Structures are given as structure tokens and as C-alpha cells.
């Protein structure tokens, strides 16, 4: 098997064994990889898009990651006016703060987790996910198991993520069934009042912005 560096499934920028079977190493079935390649080459040949367009899109997709969401969350925690704007109309608030263009990305709503209400997002129909601010969804988010179970037994699913919430906290499972994408604004952990915005960013995880976990300040390292 040749090692094809133009393959969009290929995870660039890391060291790997050039003799490893590429498709298996990346969890892509050979028939899927072949189908992708055939389709890609046809679309380029028919001028639907160019190889450069594709490369740009891959780079754009790869530039989106949970760090963006974390920056937005930390800013919302420290600036109540910004938080209000973010919860009212997320896209312009994110665009102006991060200096990125979300014009071509789907509509986005940020939902706030509080001591009374905990949101967890999912897409039971497919794998809709706030890619603009969290990047590519984790494999478990797209699994049939998560999608089926999080709406049918949410407290059990959350417990498996180590999230056990008291009965007086309402769980809101947010199924992104249509054009709206959702990101969770996690509850700011206790005892972080002294922390700077930059320090807060380091606490915020992807899973907390999906809502499967809550953030807890870990013990300071000694």
C-alpha cells in the first residue's frame, strides 16, 4: 500500500511508522478510504472544487479545536456583560472575541450550566456538534450507544463519565436535531476567584463544554 500524503483522513503533523498500514492505523476501513479517494478525485476532476480548496478546508477544520471554546468560556466567566451577549447571540460574540469568521458555519447557541440546571448536548439523528468552537467531535459522541442512551438514561450516562448530580439539579439533554448547534458554558468551579482568565482557560475541557462532565478544581501540585 502506498503512503498517500494527500489523504484528507491522514492526520498530519505527527511522527509515525511509514510501514504501518495507514488505513488501519487511523481506524478507517479500506473500502471507506477507497470510496473517499474515488469521490475526491472525481469532484476535483469535474471542477466541483480544486485540490487547493480541499486543502484549505482541511486546514480550517483542523484549526478548530476545544481551545477556542475554552477561551470563550473563560472570558464569559470573568466578564458578565460578555456572558450575557454570548448567551443571547453566540456567533457575533464569539467572532468579535476570537477574531474568527463564523459566517459559513451553522447557527450556534451557548447554553449555561448553573447550580440548578445542567445541560448535556447530543445529536440523536447523526453527529451535529459545535465544530466551529470545539473542532472535530470525539468518536464516542458519534457512537450509536451515546446517541441512544443519553436521551433514554441520561443520569446513568453522566455517571459513567463520573458526573453524579444531585436530584435538585435539573438535567437538560439538548438534542441538536436541526440547524442549531449547541455548546455548553460550564459552571465555573469553586475556589477559582483568584485565577486569571489565562489560568481559567487551562481548566476548561472539551467534555465539560459537551456537558458530560463538570469542572472541579484539582488539588494544587506540590
Partner 1 sequence: MKPFFSPGDKVKVRAADVTTHCRTPHYLRGKRGVVARVFGAFPNPEALAYHRIGVPYQPLYQIAFDFNEVWGRRERNTVITADILQHWLERDN
Q: How far apart are CA 172 and CA 169, in angstroms?
A: 9
Task: Single out the catalytic residue among 128, 143, 196, 218.
Answer: 128
Contact 214, 118 (CB under 8 A): yes
Task: Judge whether 126 counts as a catalytic residue.
Answer: yes
Binding site for partner 1 (CB under 8 A): 107, 109, 124-125, 151-155, 167-180
Task: Single out the catalytic residue among 32, 63, 126, 143.
Answer: 126
Specify the residue, 135 or 154, whose C-beta has the smaller distance to partner 1.
Answer: 154
Contact 85, 91 (CB under 8 A): no
Specify the residue, 177 or 202, whose C-beta has the smaller distance to partner 1.
Answer: 177
CB of 114: closest distance to partner 1 in angstroms?
14
Question: What cell numbers appear for 214 in the block?
Answer: 463538570
Specify the residue, 1 or 125, whose C-beta has the smaller distance to partner 1.
Answer: 125
Specify the residue, 1 or 178, whose C-beta has the smaller distance to partner 1.
Answer: 178
If DSSP codes are grouped into helix, strand and coil, which group holds residue 41?
A: helix
Contact 118, 171 (CB under 8 A): yes
Task: Single out the catalytic residue among 63, 123, 176, 196.
Answer: 123
CA distances 63 to 67, 162, 181, Å, are 10, 29, 18
Q: How far apart are CA 195 and CA 55, in angstroms?
A: 39
Task: Judge whether 122 counts as a catalytic residue.
Answer: no
Task: Single out the catalytic residue among 63, 127, 143, 176.
Answer: 127
CB of 89: closest distance to partner 1 in angstroms?
11
Q: How far apart are CA 119 and CA 174, in angstroms?
A: 7
CB of 86: closest distance to partner 1 in angstroms?
15
Q: How many CB atoms lie within 10 A of CB 77?
A: 22
CB of 32: closest distance to partner 1 in angstroms?
22
Task: Judge whether 127 counts as a catalytic residue.
Answer: yes
Active centre residues (catalytic): 123, 126-128
Amino acid at each position: 500500500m502506498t503512503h498517500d500524503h494527500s489523504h484528507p483522513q491522514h492526520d498530519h503533523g505527527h511522527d509515525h511508522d511509514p510501514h504501518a498500514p495507514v488505513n488501519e492505523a487511523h481506524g478507517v476501513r479500506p473500502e471507506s478510504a477507497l470510496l473517499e479517494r474515488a469521490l475526491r478525485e472525481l469532484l476535483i476532476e469535474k471542477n466541483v472544487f480544486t485540490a487547493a480548496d480541499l486543502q484549505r478546508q482541511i486546514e480550517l477544520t483542523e484549526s478548530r479545536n476545544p481551545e477556542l471554546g475554552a477561551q470563550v468560556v473563560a472570558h464569559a466567566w470573568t466578564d458578565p456583560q460578555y456572558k450575557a451577549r454570548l448567551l443571547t447571540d453566540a456567533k457575533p460574540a464569539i467572532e468579535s472575541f476570537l477574531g474568527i469568521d463564523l459566517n459559513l458555519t451553522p447557527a450556534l447557541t451557548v447554553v449555561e450550566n448553573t447550580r440548578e440546571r445542567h445541560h448535556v448536548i447530543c445529536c440523536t439523528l447523526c453527529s451535529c456538534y459545535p465544530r466551529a468552537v470545539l473542532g472535530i467531535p470525539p468518536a464516542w459522541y458519534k457512537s450509536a450507544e451515546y446517541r441512544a442512551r443519553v436521551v433514554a438514561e441520561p443520569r446513568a450516562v453522566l455517571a459513567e463519565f463520573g458526573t453524579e448530580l444531585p436530584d435538585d439539579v435539573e438535567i437538560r439533554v439538548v438534542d441538536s436535531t436541526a440547524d442549531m448547534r449547541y455548546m455548553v458554558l460550564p459552571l465555573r468551579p469553586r475556589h477559582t476567584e483568584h485565577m486569571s482568565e489565562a489560568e481559567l482557560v487551562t481548566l476548561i475541557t472539551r467534555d465539560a463544554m459537551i456537558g458530560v462532565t463538570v469542572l472541579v478544581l484539582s488539588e494544587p501540585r506540590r
